[in-house]
Structure 1
Amino acid sequence: MRLHHYTSSVVLTLLIVAVKAKEQTCKCIPGDDCWPSTDSWNALNGSVEGRLIRGNPPASVCYQQEPNYNPQACQTVISKWSSSAWHAADPVSVDAPDVHRGCYPLYENGTNVLGDPTAGTRGRTTSGWFSTYVINATEDSHVQEGVRFARAHGLRLNVKNTGHNTNSEAPGSLSVWTHYLKSIQFTKKWLPQGCHLPTEDSRMAMTFGAGVQDREAFEAAGKNDAVVVGGTDSTVGLVGWSIAGGHGYLTGGYGMGADNILEAKVVTMDGKVFIANECQNSDLFWAIRGGGPSFGVLTSLTMKAYPMPNATMWSINLAALNETTDVEWWRVVAGFHSYLPALKQAGFQGYITAGGPPMTLTGAMFAYNMSNSSTSAAMAPLHSYLQSQANSTSVSESRASVLRWIDIYHMFNLTLAAGGEAGAVSSRLISAKALTEDLEFLADVLSQVGPTSGQASGDISQNSISGSFVASPEPVDNALNPAWRDALVHLRISNSWSMDVPPEEARNATKSMTEVTGCALRHLEPDSGAYFNEADPNEPDWQSSLFGTHYPRLLAVKEKYDSEGIMWCHHCVGSENWSFGEEGGLCRQG
């Protein structure tokens, strides 16, 4: 009898332990017993000097049923909804419109910005995909307090600067908003901390707070007659762009974003602040240069700076003539791409887009510190080829030369629109061999992934192609996907649809992008990969595709600095160890 009682007690104890262990494998979310109390949140707010913000969907101010209803604020939301800069300046918002599903801005008559006249009557139908609380961090200590709180309470920790990447969305999380870490320092003779190097080893560099965006970095460098690498969208955050690889106007000649990182200040998941460079915490330094987010919260970044170059921009515009068939057009486009390796070798880099109907291709090619005669000589073979295609294609070309690169940047100063349409994307890093070895095959693949001259049927747009030949082949000991070193062109295929498209149709379009369009790209370059910041969210074999042979080493660094998985994002290193449970929280696998 006693034995039976003892056995029952052991079984009961084991069951209780098992239940608790199961509970502890999931991140706490609102509604869970483990969710921090109001007193705990108030204590956190005190420790970060009153900088804790409730993470409300930005358009919630438009709904009369919401406690923060504010008609005047709603008018501001409506007027700024398509502004990427405005979404960046909101503590939780992101550019992607589908994240706001169920909480779009409302006009005074109750119709939302998508044209749904019943939206106001229904009220907000979702809490959105936003962090529950946000710390507006302006000091390292604010980040440290957030990390310690998330760790102590079993929360998912999120990081947002601008929200260009949907990895900035994290339902039920505590978010660190780095947007106002805006410090910028230019140094002519910079040396890494703790390396004890002689002065002659110093170099020109710039140190940026984690909230600095491309335009701010370029303008600050320009005031010192210098340049730093950055992206093409003026509002993109420099940190998120560079740690995942980073391509831009200058990267073909000066190195990828990840290649240009000299040092970083990182708050790791134990709440400590580390300096990571070539001689301190070198494993962390290696990982954050190309391995993406989730190793820690970067609060500042030092990057290489270079003397301001002069610049030449060669613009090319192609259009299919009325009688040109799609087969003929894509042969011309394939031929165009076959000249890019030689142009890259000569010193050119740039961006290409192909869309339709009507079938067009536009290219902006950049050369730095090259004479007009040298740029003309480099362009001559492509010019001759395009002239030979006059029976099927109209061609226009122009050249602009400036003494300072920043003036070329001012010609573009791109800021993409936000908050409008949803869409799907697939991308692939393409080698020079794939662009030159079999032009018929290349033309066939481009015709499969690109648009046709016929009008799109249904609610899904035709695909458009954007290509960037701005990769740097120079080897660097960092975590950048090795496929970048062999890449001549990064091809990105995208389409779009209105947010009122039936969900099933949107799902089918997303599936087709992965299984049809993406498959064709992978067939063109089977052993290559994709770019983390612009990859298909459903990318097959993503560990290999996004990180290549570096993935096992990256996983080891992740385990060292964040064994509890406090930081998590989709297709980030170590993300396969977690999945969303039935209640919506992240739960550890196995």
Structure 2
Amino acid sequence: MLLHILILVLCSFALAKPTPPQQNDFPLCYSLPGSPSYPIKQQWAALNISLDGNLISTTPLASPCHNAQPGTYNATACTALQQAWPLPQTHYTDSASIMANFFTNNSCNPFSPPGDKCDSSGFVAYSARVRGVQDIQETIAFATAHNVRLAIRNTGHDYLGKSNAPGGLAIWTHFLKEIEVIHDYRSPSGDSKREAGGYTGPAMKLGAGVQGFEARKAAAEAGYILATGNCDTIGIAGGYTQGGGHGQLTSRFGLAADQVLEWEVVLASGEVAVATPEDPEYEDLYWALSGGGGGVFGVVVSVTVKVFREVRTVAGALSFSTSCGGNEIVFRRAVDTFIARLGALLDVRGVGAWFLTRDSLSLSPVSILGGSSQDLHRVLDPVVDVLEEGNLSCSYQVQEYPTYYDSYEAMTPEYNVTDLHGGNILIPRSVLETNMDGLTSRIWEILDSGNETAISGISVNASLHETNQSPGNSVNPAWREAAISAVVVLPFTYTDWPRNLERRRQITQTLLPKLERLTPAGEGGAYLNEADPNQPDWQHVFYGDNYDRLLGIKRKYDPDGTFYALTGVGSEEWVNGDDGRLCRSDSYLSQSR
């Protein structure tokens, strides 16, 4: 039996070596299933053996809703799947499904008729369920040798489809769940907490598959808190922290990227690097990974982050609407007052997550670490006063909790994040201070453009101050001046694909520009994890003045473009075809000649 396996492994790599078209010794396009250069079954089988059976061939999650293959349709299973489809756990437990169905090119839609198309063409063809560094190295080597597109995937929570690669191979890090609490971390150059960028204090080392709820629980059991998102199912080490990462701790301690002490990463070459701000060999890689976007510089195996002692927290929620016949004038006056009070919330280092439509506002949670009920009432009571004077009812709650963990558990709702059309803009504090009327009028213009339009906002104070100074990183500088991270939202439809395309155009061409024009040219920015994938000036808007340096670091550590992500650093060197094929751009080819 062992001899048979050995022969299979040796022969599989000798058979059907890929022969993609060449230009100056690099492939013009990644190969797709069915093309002559694509690996044959024996080669995939050999990779599976090297991974001890952890290579997963993709069967679309929505297959029970279709009869593309005999015997796959199951009405009961399909109904259950449709009901669970908006839930994050439906997708992060699957090896290929992503939460932004738009980027699968409608390959297998659970809500379309049973006879409609359902195949794996819009998904990765295989996923390597990696267990550590060696599995990652072998997967990268296979993809490089066979000209197969790679994707780095944990949960699939990604509004821009960065964790997908049609016809390609996913490095699935979801099961790298190791958590280590380090009570007395010492950075290589630091003997004191503020010495030369060094750090001494509590930290946690998190495997790349660790999610927010897992990290928070482990931290709480040790008496600590750490930066996570309001969506508790996101992975900490992936695009969340690598892209900046906001949450309820941001105003007190900074963004998630500001907390990073070390990155353990497998590079395109297969080399393992431990990047810290103190190590001159990889300090540039540390800088790039800490805010420059996920999935393009290497495969993160683990991240080590600062954690903080627990602190009492005040948290609250406020919601009101016109749904029960309330006065629209009063409603809008109350919303305008709420927007105007955001500056007061940021002054006390509070954070608020809110969702606004033309007839409803929901703020939940809003919190101040170390604050009191009086602090939060001073911020929000003026809004409630407007509502009471206008006889518009509301739901209003403010409560003090002994720990941040308790406040998060009690006040943070479960977010269903699957499928929406959105585009982000970071609105500077200066707009609140000098052009409040302009801001609120633009907000109402957007909301009045259609009953389905909404704005999702999180208000944080990510400016650096004495309690959250971080080593230098590549976070978009626009974050340091931002008062609101606003996402203009239109719903996704599973039954009208042309309408999805139109809604994408509407966000890019009509809705987002209304807010963008509030900021002087060249000074705006966006949160790249929630951004408009069609943003025309994405390099500057998503990365600010950091982009050129990020591109240089990308080319240093990944000169052949092994790692690609839509709107990620270096992605302008590639073009996505309608069939999912990823090819070198004309501009890149002209530079390479």
Report TM bin, short chain. 0.7 to 0.9
SS at match of 2:543: helix
Stretch of structure 1 that moved more, 526-535 or 178-187? 526-535
> Shift of residue 530 of structure 1?
0.7
Which one of the candidate residues 341, 348, 351 is aligned to 1:349? 351
Assess, with a 3 A threshold, how the Cα gap between structure 1 residues 315 and 156 changes in structure 2: closer, same or farther: same
> Shift of residue 287 of structure 1?
0.3
Residue matched to 2:138: 145
Structure 1 unpaired stretches of 5+: 1-16, 106-113
Which one of the candidate residues 40, 64, 69 is aligned to 1:66? 69
Residue matched to 1:40: 43
Assess, with a 3 A threshold, how the Cα gap between structure 1 residues 312 and 21 changes in structure 2: closer, same or farther: same
Assess, with a 3 A threshold, how the Cα gap between structure 1 residues 370 and 402 changes in structure 2: closer, same or farther: same
Residue matched to 1:170: 165
Which amino acid letter does the alignment assign opposite residue 468 of structure 1?
I
> Shift of residue 317 of structure 1?
3.0
> 1: distance between equivalents of 2:277 and 2:409?
34
Structure 2 unpaired stretches of 5+: 1-18, 194-198
> Shift of residue 518 of structure 1?
0.6
Assess, with a 3 A threshold, how the Cα gap between structure 1 residues 471 and 533 changes in structure 2: closer, same or farther: farther
Q: Which has the larger radius of gyration?
A: 1
Q: Please show how residues 104-119 of structure 1 align to structure 2 within 5 Å.
A: 104-105=109-110, 114=111, 116=112, 119=113
* 1:505 paired to 2:499: yes
Q: Please show how residues 292-303 of structure 1 align to structure 2 within 5 Å.
A: 292-293=293-294, 294-303=296-305
SS at match of 2:487: strand
> Shift of residue 388 of structure 1?
4.9
| Matched-pair contact (CA < 8 Å) for 2:337–2:382 | no
Residue matched to 1:516: 510
Which amino acid letter does the alignment assign opposite residue 341 of structure 2?
Y
> Shift of residue 82 of structure 1?
3.4
Assess, with a 3 A threshold, how the Cα gap between structure 1 residues 336 and 123 changes in structure 2: closer, same or farther: closer
Which amino acid letter does the alignment assign opposite residue 28 of structure 1?
S
CA-based RMSD of the aligned residues comes to: 2.7
SS at match of 1:430: strand
Residue matched to 2:32: 29
Which amino acid letter does the alignment assign opposite residue 147 of structure 2?
G
> Shift of residue 36 of structure 1?
1.7
| Matched-pair contact (CA < 8 Å) for 2:225–2:308 | yes
Q: Please show how residues 158-307 of structure 1 align to structure 2 within 5 Å.
A: 158-165=151-158, 166-192=161-187, 195=188, 197-198=190-191, 202-239=200-237, 240-280=239-279, 281-293=282-294, 294-307=296-309
Residue matched to 2:459: 469
> Shift of residue 75 of structure 1?
7.2
| Matched-pair contact (CA < 8 Å) for 2:422–2:531 | yes
> Shift of residue 451 of structure 1?
4.4
Residue matched to 2:12: none
SS at match of 1:394: coil
> Shift of residue 65 of structure 1?
4.2
Residue matched to 1:529: 525
> Shift of residue 383 of structure 1?
2.3
Assess, with a 3 A threshold, how the Cα gap between structure 1 residues 197 and 60 changes in structure 2: closer, same or farther: same
Residue matched to 1:110: none
* 1:539 paired to 2:535: yes
Which one of the candidate residues 53, 56, 61 is aligned to 2:59? 56
| Matched-pair contact (CA < 8 Å) for 1:330–1:443 | no
> 2: distance between equivalents of 1:575 and 1:100?
19
Deviations 1:77-124 (CA, angstroms, capped at 9, x unpaired): 45643331121010001122443724234xxxxxxxx3x5xx33x353
| Matched-pair contact (CA < 8 Å) for 1:207–1:302 | yes
| Matched-pair contact (CA < 8 Å) for 1:427–1:521 | no
Which one of the candidate residues 429, 439, 444 is aligned to 1:442? 439
Assess, with a 3 A threshold, how the Cα gap between structure 1 residues 345 and 267 changes in structure 2: closer, same or farther: same
Deviations 1:192-212 (CA, angstroms, capped at 9, x unpaired): 4xx265488521000111001
Residue matched to 1:401: 400
Tell me the percent identity.
29
Deviations 1:171-230 (CA, angstroms, capped at 9, x unpaired): 0111100000000111100124xx265488521000111001110011110101110110
Which amino acid letter does the alignment assign opposite residue 224 of structure 1?
A
Assess, with a 3 A threshold, how the Cα gap between structure 1 residues 537 and 318 changes in structure 2: closer, same or farther: same
Which amino acid letter does the alignment assign opposite residue 434 of structure 1?
V
Which amino acid letter does the alignment assign opposite residue 87 of structure 1?
H
Deviations 1:537-563 (CA, angstroms, capped at 9, x unpaired): 111200000000000000001001111
> 2: distance between equivalents of 1:146 and 1:325?
57
SS at match of 1:339: helix
SS at match of 1:238: coil
Assess, with a 3 A threshold, how the Cα gap between structure 1 residues 515 and 223 changes in structure 2: closer, same or farther: same
> 1: distance between equivalents of 2:454 and 2:427?
17
SS at match of 1:360: strand
Assess, with a 3 A threshold, how the Cα gap between structure 1 residues 306 and 67 changes in structure 2: closer, same or farther: farther
* 1:155 paired to 2:184: no
Residue matched to 2:90: 86
Residue matched to 2:9: none
Assess, with a 3 A threshold, how the Cα gap between structure 1 residues 329 and 441 changes in structure 2: closer, same or farther: farther
| Matched-pair contact (CA < 8 Å) for 1:56–1:130 | no
Stretch of structure 1 that moved more, 91-100 or 141-150? 91-100
